[in-house]
Amino acid sequence: MTMTTLEKIQTQISENPIILYMKGSPKLPSCGFSAQASQILSQCGAPFAYVDILQHPDIRAELPKFANWPTFPQLWVEGELVGGCDIMIEMFQSGELQALIKETASKYQTA
């Protein structure tokens, strides 16, 4: 049985406490906003999952409707949409993002 795109998105978000939907990958981002977002997340020092929406046109089409957020990248933490690049930058500058990422990562650390 194949999963619908919506089920795939919900599974990705529920199985990955920190996930970034972006264009490209953290090592090879395909747009400036995705590059900034993955760099900011990397600076928070916790592992995170990512989905390259350019490789998954179905997710690229469905996620904005699911999230009610029209643009990419999108950062999701513990099943909640945090936001896009601008919000991530603001939260990073205030220290809020580092705290959120650190707290989330510590909850999910495997021994």
Q: How, if at all, do strands 18-22 and 80-83 pair?
A: unpaired
Determine if residue 107 is labeled as part of a ligand binding site.
Answer: no
Q: Is residue 31 marked as binding? A: yes
**Contact by Cβ (8 Å): 21, 72:** yes
* 92 annotated as a binding-site residue: no
Q: Nearest Cα to 49, choosing from 107, 111, 101, 103?
A: 101
44 is in an annotated binding site: no
Binding residues: 23, 31, 60, 72, 85-86
Binding residues for [2Fe-2S] cluster: 31
Binding residues for glutathione: 23, 60, 72, 85-86
